[in-house]
């Protein structure tokens, strides 16, 4: 291809084909020849009837009667309007597609989309939003039908990899999607961004939002599994969605993020800063129904860290969420009776002891000391954990006394001495070992 040919192709815009009177027309519902014989009023009525049915599922669809499905939309031609007008239309279309996506497999949704394809050419102008609308249903025939509307001949185009589905008309295998995600940063970004949009639009309808959550979770887990290690670029794209998901109000999203993080931890070497950021959000967003899973994940994260030397000040940031969570100690108690949990509990103790020393002059002191006392009273440690727990109190105390006044040291010493006495009675061998 000559340089001039490339420039001409680059300059070619979707508008150049919109005003042609073709014998075939793109259609989600009809054969292209049949679609060409339908007049504008007929397609409008089909789209409007679909919208009316969607309004019964979600009243918010009604607002689009005044824009995308208004009577004046029959005369709308994208090719003759300004960039500003088209930008406003794009916003409406993208919001509509996110609202519609969970209902995509319903006939009413497909009828509503028929109008957007016919009048607004969303398969050309809103390709990303259109594909993200249908991608969660990649294993269905109607997904392929939607993909067949899109021009994918450009071998350098973002969606060219879907072209192989068009001619045979076969659904997209899950493994193909996962393999693509493993090497396509842009696709990961689109999926993460689409989830954020869905959370904003469907926040009051968790059952509908779960379609997005399930797709996001299974796709990201599969992507991590298919990847040969996780790059910094992949993690940089995925991490904000995980941090936001961990503190969301949706239990299914929180659980999904736990599963993705567990898979990331298995496949990637997460650095200390990432683990600390994840830990803070896990604790901040921990809910009673998932407390055991949350603590298990924290222990797994800490176990993977080689040196386990964590920023004590960061652990102090976690303390407020730990001491106010009624499920933390019971969950640790259950896990500690079966597994070694000191990888996570040890830095927690050091952070608490440091905070206890700093709080010797205010009202927090009693609550913090009660938490530490309850920890050693209610939790029974096994294996080498008792030795590590005793050392953690000693290390935390030695670090704290270097940073506090004499009067504070005395109060801290009284509490820590009582804790160590208790541990010595519970684990006599461990206490003697810690003195070595």
3-state SS record for the chain: CCHHHHHHHHHCCCHHHHCCCCCCCCCCCCCHHHHHCCCHHHHHHHHHHHHHHHHHHCHHHHHHHHCCCCHHHHHCCHHHCCHHHHHHHHHHHHHHHHHHHHHCCCHHHHHHHHHHHHHHCHHHHCHHHHHHHHHHHCCCHHHHHHHCCCCCCCCCCCCHHHHHHHCCCCCCCHHHHHHHHHHCHHHHHHHHHHHHHHHHHCCCCHHHHHHHHHHHHHHHHHHHHHCCCCCHHHHHHHHHHHHHHHCCCCHHHHHHHHHHHHHHHHHCCCCHHHHHHHHHHHHHCCCHHHHHHHHHHHHHHHHHCCCCCCCHHHHHHHHHHHHCCCCHHHHHHHHHCCCCCHHHHHHHHHHHHHHHHHCCCCCHHHHHHHHHHHHHHHCCCCCCHHHHHHHHHHHHHHHHHCCCCHHHHHHHHHHHHHHHHHHHHHCHHHHHHHCC
Q: What is the reported pLDDT for 10?
A: 44
Burial of 42 (0-12, 13-18, 19+ CB in 10 A): exposed
Between CA 64 and CA 55 the distance in angstroms is 10
* Chain-centre distance for alpha carbon 128: 19
Burial class (CB in 10 A: 0-12, 13-18, 19+), 340: middle
Q: Are 369 and 400 in contact (CB under 8 A)?
A: no
CA distance 47 to 113: 7
Q: Which of 417, 415, 401, 422 is nearest to 364 (CA)?
A: 415
Structure tokens at 250: 């949706």
The confidence score (pLDDT) of residue 324 equals 81
Q: What is the pLDDT of residue 12?
A: 47
Provide the CB-side half-sphere exposure for 351 (13 A, CA).
21
pLDDT in tens, the chain (436 residues): 555 444 445 444 454 444 455 678 999 999 999 999 999 999 999 999 999 999 999 999 999 999 999 999 999 998 888 999 999 999 999 999 999 999 999 999 999 999 999 999 999 999 999 999 999 999 999 999 999 999 999 999 999 999 999 999 999 999 999 999 999 999 999 999 999 999 999 999 999 999 999 999 999 999 999 988 899 999 999 999 999 999 999 999 999 999 999 999 999 989 888 998 999 999 999 999 999 999 999 999 988 886 655 566 677 678 888 888 888 999 999 999 999 999 899 988 988 998 999 898 888 899 999 999 999 999 999 999 999 999 999 999 998 998 888 888 999 999 999 999 999 999 987 655 555 5
Whether the Cβ atoms of residue 256 and residue 213 lie closer than 8 Å to each other:
yes
- Sign of the torsion formed by the C-alpha atoms of 110, 114, 144 and 121: negative
- The phi and psi torsions of 108 (rounded to 5 degrees) equal -60, -40
Cα–Cα distance list, 211 to 18, 151, 350, 406 (Å): 34, 27, 42, 58
Q: Which two tokens stand for residue 411?
A: 């109060």
Measured in whole angstroms, the distance separating CA 205 from the mean position of its chain's CA atoms is 17
Please tell me the predicted confidence (pLDDT) of residue 311.
64
Q: Measured in whole angstroms, how far is the alpha carbon of residue 195 from the centre of its chain?
A: 7
How far is it, in rounded angstroms, from Cα 120 to Cα 204?
Answer: 29
Task: Report the C-alpha gap between 358 and 80 in whole angstroms.
Answer: 68
Q: Taking every pair of C-alpha atoms in the chain, what is the biggest distance, in angstroms?
A: 91
Task: Look up residue 63 and give its two tokens.
Answer: 């607002």
Whole-angstrom distance between the N-terminal and C-terminal Cα of the chain?
77
* pLDDT value at residue 11: 42
Q: What pLDDT is stored for residue 192 in this prediction?
A: 98
């Amino acid at each position: 291809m000559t340089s001039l040919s490339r420039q001409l192709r680059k300059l070619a815009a979707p508008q150049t084909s919109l005003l042609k009177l073709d014998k075939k027309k793109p259609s989600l519902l009809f054969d292209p020849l049949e679609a060409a014989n339908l007049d504008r009023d007929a397609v409008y009525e089909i789209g409007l009837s679909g919208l009316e049915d969607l309004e019964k599922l979600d009243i918010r669809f009604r607002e689009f009667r005044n824009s995308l499905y208004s009577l004046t939309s029959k005369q709308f031609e994208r090719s003759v309007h300004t960039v500003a007008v088209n930008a406003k239309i794009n916003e409406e279309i993208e919001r509509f597609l996110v609202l519609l996506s969970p209902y995509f497999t319903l006939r009413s949704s497909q009828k509503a989309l028929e109008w957007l394809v016919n009048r607004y050419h969303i398969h050309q102008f809103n390709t990303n939003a259109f594909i993200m609308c249908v991608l969660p249903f990649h294993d269905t025939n109607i997904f392929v039908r939607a993909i067949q509307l899109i021009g994918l001949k450009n071998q350098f185009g973002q969606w060219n990899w879907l072209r192989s589905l068009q001619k045979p008309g076969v659904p997209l295998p899950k493994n193909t999607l996962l393999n693509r995600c493993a090497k396509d940063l842009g696709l990961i970004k689109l999926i993460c961004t689409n989830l954020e949009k869905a959370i904003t639009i469907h926040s009051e309808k968790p059952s509908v939002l779960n379609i997005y959550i399930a797709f996001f979770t299974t796709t990201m887990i599969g992507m991590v599994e298919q990847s040969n290690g996780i790059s910094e670029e992949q993690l940089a794209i995925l991490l904000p969605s995980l941090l936001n998901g961990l503190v969301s109000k949706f239990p299914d999203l929180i659980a999904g993020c736990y599963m993705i993080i567990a898979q990331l931890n298995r496949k990637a070497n997460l650095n200390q800063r990432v683990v600390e950021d994840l830990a803070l959000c896990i604790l901040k967003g921990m809910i009673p129904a998932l407390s055991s899973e949350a603590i298990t994940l924290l222990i797994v994260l800490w176990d993977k860290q080689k040196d386990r030397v964590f920023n004590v000040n960061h652990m102090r940031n976690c303390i407020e969420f730990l001491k106010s969570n009624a499920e933390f100690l019971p969950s640790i108690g259950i896990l500690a009776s079966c597994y070694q949990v000191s990888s996570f509990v040890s830095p927690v103790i050091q952070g608490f002891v440091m905070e206890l020393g700093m709080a010797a002059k205010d009202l927090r002191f009693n609550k913090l000391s009660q938490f530490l006392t309850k920890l050693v009273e209610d939790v029974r440690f096994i294996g080498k954990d008792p030795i590590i727990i005793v050392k953690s109190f000693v290390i935390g105390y030695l670090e704290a006394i270097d940073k506090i006044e004499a009067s504070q040291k005395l109060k801290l010493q009284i509490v820590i001495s009582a804790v160590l006495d208790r541990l010595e009675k519970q684990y006599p061998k461990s206490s003697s070992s810690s003195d070595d």
